[in-house]
Chain A
Amino acid sequence: MENQTSLEIKNISKTFPGVKALDDINIKAHGGEIIGLIGVNGAGKSTLMNILGGIHKPSQGQILIDGNPVEINSPQDAEKYGIGFIHQEPVMFNYMTVAENISLSRLKGKVNYKEINVIAKEYLGKMNCDIKPTDKVGELPIGSRQMVEIARALSSGGKILLFDEPTASFTDKEKQKLFEVIRDLKKQGSCIFFISHFLDEVEELTDRTIVLRDGKVVITGNTKDITREEILRNMIGGEVAQVGNEQKRTFDKVTMKVENLTVGKLPDHVSFEIRRGEVLGIWGLMGSGRTETLRAIYGIDKVDEGAVYLDLDDGRGLQKISFKDISNYCGYVTEARHDDGCMLPWTLWENMAAPNLKAYKKKLFLDYNQQKEDSKEFAKKLNVKAPSVFTNMSALSGGNQQKVIMAKWLMKKPKVFLIDEPTRGVDVGAKAEIQRMIRELAREGTSCLVVSSEIEEISALSDRVIILNRGVIKGELSREEIEKHTLMSLCV
């Protein structure tokens, strides 16, 4: 084992505007080793992998491969140095064949299909995969696509392989298959980084575990020597977040009932109730079906099975509401602000008025002055920091954009407020404000359904938490029982 691969990450830091994503990271790795990299969202795992993969450049520090300092400026550089990046969502060309996908980056001049098919077969064979090189990638199951991506990394001489949460959308069988492949690759001398949310996967597969928190390495050690307790404690941080110290509240009336909600596999027969003034947290990892549940309730995705009942305060109690009408009674803060949360090129008041147009209809026409007045009022109430409501949405910081989105739904006075990731990409100050706002809303009687991937947030906000894992409700905790470790252990 003299001339085996080695990778050294030396004093790497990475600063994004306003955030220190990585802070003086030092990691040494060598061939024939599987390193598990774990940490909560935002701990810096992906940033580190993106630096190795040539997608980001480090602000400081050095990377040494086989003892030589290298500069990785592009994915092609990474490939040149033998770094293969297996993305969470496979980077694939669906209408092209497996062999083409594997060899594409090396094609020059005339394409010799015989040759690339042989190459594909060779590398797929190394992994004991019986995928045909001539199949179209788009027709393969997702697990096989991941295999193709691994083959691509190997065929371009990859000795250092980065797996970024590869199992997120896998079936159990696909997962076992992948693990076998990874172990084989290790035997063949590859150096492997394995990123996962799932503790049991890391325990099962890796030799060494590195825990990242807030851009720093907090512990590192042989996987078999580290207890699950230790990992959890280090992932989350020493102190337990202050769960709001208000007294336990009681709730009477059920405002919304969700019954057997099913959309394909995510969510899978999900049922729950939410009461007036209650904050119900939905906790789950990526791929648990949390966002899909909200989308289904709100009527965006077509539901296979299930129903939603609402109490419209008209004395009739819970009524079944058809999915296309639910948006009339609910507000929905989406997970991806820029994707489907707001109209970025529009002004604040236009954004705030957009879902509430009916309220501003005077005879035939819209009353714009009233819209502007109301927007001003709500912008002030939610402490939106912007020159005026005539400012463009795109000119605001993430936190203020989020407040505007909250405001547009509050103007609607929703019965149930669905909030997906209330504070993602939001600075600390605005984060506290938004969380306080949600608690206040609940106290005033609005039912809130909150999804968050941050344990602190879920435990600070919720009166009750349901735990979702791969589309199924795994458990339910009351406010007193909410404890990080229980949450984590229920879903990892």
Chain B
Amino acid sequence: MVDTLIAKRHLMANKKQTLVAMLGVTFGIAMFILMISFMIGVNQFMEDTMLSSTPDIHIYNDIKTDYTVSIAGDYFKDKKLLVSVRHPKPKQVNLNIKNASGIINDLRNDPEITRVSPFLSTQVFYNYGPVQINGYINGVNIIDESKIFDLRSKMIVGQPEDLLNTDKGIIMGRGLANKLNLGVGDMVTLTTPAGTSMSFRVVGIFAIGIGTIDDTRSYINLANVQQLMGKDRSYITDINVKLTNNKLAPSKAGELYKKYNYKSDDWQTANSSVMASNIVRDVLTYVVSITLLTVAGFGIYNIMNMTIQNKMKDIAILKAQGFSGQDIVRIFLSQSLFIGFFGALMGEILGFLLSYALSRVPFPHNDFISLKYFPVIFNPAHYLFGLVFGVITPFIAGLMPSIKASRIDPVVILRG
């Protein structure tokens, strides 16, 4: 094509200008790749951390006290009186899930559900000499629980199964064990709010990487907790559920709530503040990237306008010799697209190198966040998006000057 030949010559004739225009796109795309790789990496890390402490769906018996019905109503029912009861007190409520074993069986047969872990959660005091540290314990079937949260990889000392091999064993969060100055084999006494207490032997220590959990949570066999609380063997307060696809959690949670009438929180709702900050990061990434690319687009627009201004005579002579308006558009638009495509390609390479470098930078050591390096994700879709965007921007930026060039009246220029 003779049009591309001319376009190529124009680009090569002014290499420095071409390179500057390309660099605009290059930096725009490189920043986009770096930012999106890092931001999505952070999002992914947050999501992973969330999922390591939050089940896909958490079913529990929320305290809902019904104050509309009062015993006073029964008492005064024959008399024509307006009875007002101030500050009614709730009646004794059990926080357990009724028919827990039925629900658990039902959940286990659901094809969308891969894991079910029933547990009993309660507040306790960890007694440390004269000091009592507030926390809570989860009475679990450790096999089920560790399959949902992959506890095995979170263990610092011991294995989850050690809980089964020990009578009255306890697996403690790292922060808690540090505070209590406990190691494997040591004894700790727990006291429930009801006043009962029992001693347990530490068999393992875990660290999920979230301070609020590692500082307060311990795992004990379900039966031991039921025993500690003086409840029977069917007493369950919570059920954790893992789905085949965790993106379906919100709709599935609604479904389960309707079915069992127990509160069902999906992980996204339970971590809505984290999800919100993910969205903020996503928006930020796109806003910054689009801004950079727009600036690059204006750079191209300027350079194309300048080129066309310098090439007025050439355009006139080409038109006189039989090049049509479309040819002129093609000549200048292809220059702009060339700048865009190769600029974007260089940007992708630069972006990859920067992202890779970032992913090798050690994250400042922190007890609460289990992160060795800056979280960076390498997703081909981002690179494809960057390339498409890097070509579309110059296309739009080059279109107007090119059309302007095609409308140049050769007579005006040739007559001088």
A and B bind? no
